[in-house]
Amino acid sequence: MQKHHWLRAGLFAAAASAAFAAAPAQAQGSLVMYCGVQEEWCRAMSGAFEKETGIKVAMTRKSAGEIYAQLKAESSNPRGDIWWGGTGDPHLQAAEEGLTQDYESPANKDLHEWALAQWEAAKKRSVGIYAGALGFGYNTQQIKAKGLNEPKCWADLLDPKLKDDVQVADPNSSGTAYNLLATVVQLMGEDKGFDYLRALHKNVSQYTKSGAAPAKAASLGETAVGIVFIHDAVVFAVQGDPIKAVAPCEGTGYEIGSMSIVKGARNLDNAKKFYDWALTPAAQALAAPAKSYQVPSNKNAPVPAQAPKMSEMKLIKYDFVKYGSSAERVRLLTKWDKEIKALP
Ligand code: PLP
């Protein structure tokens, strides 16, 4: 397996170095990357880019809401150059607040419409790099042991037998959990959506910081259910763990994972180089070997065989402009803190 992985990486490196023939792999300056996906994919991306360009990458992995907060805190003295990955909503909020800057990549012509819709919504300050649908993963053994039918719907997660056995992240830090908050509000209406979250709270054992953590916990049997992006549960299912990924029967929301250049980036040219490269099919193909099974935004990039089939799910018409706006994101998060998190 390992060998195969390196073989693929080698093939990729050969293809990419042809594309970057004009840039010798030696000291080419640096790039500070804030990365919003899983650590393994973050490392694959930063490593491959560094190898091909000679640009030294300083990468840190954080959840989407945390990266947004960091950009805001650093806005008078920006430290980061590129924000790669994480749900689109906080990218849109950062764009609206002028924390990121506009850019038009030549690769735009190869992108899916949904990726360009993000770019347009952000007034060119953010672009879609992948898509993934929200759902949950459940531990098959735990569900059986509790005498429950296999959960298929959001409503099933309210069963009292699941008390203290559901995990989901905190929407302040996690892009995944904000996506859930915005999804239930759109799917059920705001009042019913908050009723749902209040009822769910009774079953939630803890609100984690990172969005994907509940998938790992469910795969290990530390919780019966983890509310996550479906692809984050698939990671553990394909490695044989007793976890099943579900696209909820009532319908569900989805994310447009995004990338933005930091306003005032000290290494602006390198940020643009990374941005262009990250949109190529070769760079997007690094996801699957790093166990990330989202749908890539470049039409010519291979879709991982393990990627959940979004066309077969009941997806809501997620209003990215509204739920990525600064006012709406602040309002919903404040309301969630007051009405849900504060509950005993
Ligand atoms: N991990 C993966 C693979 C994702 O696709 C995403 C969302 O884009 C996240 C993590 C989001 O992380 P968080 O919810 O911690 O912001």
Q: What is the 3-state secondary structure (H, E, C) of 9-45?
A: HHHHHHHHHHHCCCCCCCCCCEEEEEECCCHHHHHHH
Provide the pLDDT for residue 28: 81
- Would you write out the chain's pLDDT as a tens digit for each of its 344 residues? 333 333 333 333 434 444 444 444 455 899 999 999 999 999 999 999 999 999 999 999 999 999 999 999 999 999 999 999 999 999 999 999 999 999 999 999 999 999 999 999 999 999 999 999 999 999 999 999 999 999 999 999 999 999 999 999 999 999 999 999 999 999 999 999 999 999 999 999 999 999 999 999 999 999 999 999 999 999 999 999 999 999 999 999 999 999 999 999 999 999 999 999 999 999 999 999 999 999 999 999 999 999 999 999 999 999 999 999 999 999 999 999 999 999 99
- Are 236 and 253 in contact by the 8 Å Cβ rule? The answer is no
> Measuring CA to CA, which residue among 335, 223, 274 is closest to residue 82?
274
- Are 294 and 287 in contact by the 8 Å Cβ rule? The answer is yes
Provide the pLDDT for residue 25: 46
Class of domain 133-253+324-341: alpha beta
In the chain, CATH 3.40.190.10 covers: 2-131+256-307, 133-253+324-341
Atom 1 of ligand 1: nearest residue by CA position: 37
Q: How far is the CA of 55 from the centre of ligand 1 (A)?
A: 26
SS3 138: strand
Provide the pLDDT for residue 27: 57
Question: What ipTM was reported for this prediction?
Answer: 0.95
SS3 129: strand
42-71 burial, b for 16+ CB within 10 Å, e for fewer? bebbbebbbbbbebebebebbbbbbbbbbb
Show the tokens assigned to 262: 């930091």
Q: Which of 229, 260, 318, 320 to mutate to test the pocket of ligand 1 (most atoms within 8 A of CB)?
A: 229
CB neighbourhood size of 174 (10 A): 29
Q: Which of 87, 92, 291 to mutate to test the pocket of ligand 1 (most atoms within 8 A of CB)?
A: 87
- Are 31 and 58 in contact by the 8 Å Cβ rule? The answer is yes
Q: Which of 37, 60, 256, 293 to mutate to test the pocket of ligand 1 (most atoms within 8 A of CB)?
A: 37
Q: Which atom of ligand 1 is nearest to the CA of 255?
A: 8
304 lines ligand 1 (CB under 6 A): no
Class of domain 2-131+256-307: alpha beta
255 lines ligand 1 (CB under 6 A): yes
Gap between the Cα atoms of 249 and 265, Å rounded: 43
End-to-end CA distance of the chain: 47
SS3 248: coil
| DSSP line for 158-177 | G-GGGTT-EEEE-TTT-HHH
Q: How far is the CA of 278 from the centre of ligand 1 (A)?
A: 17
- Are 89 and 327 in contact by the 8 Å Cβ rule? The answer is no
- Are 220 and 173 in contact by the 8 Å Cβ rule? The answer is no
229 lines ligand 1 (CB under 6 A): yes
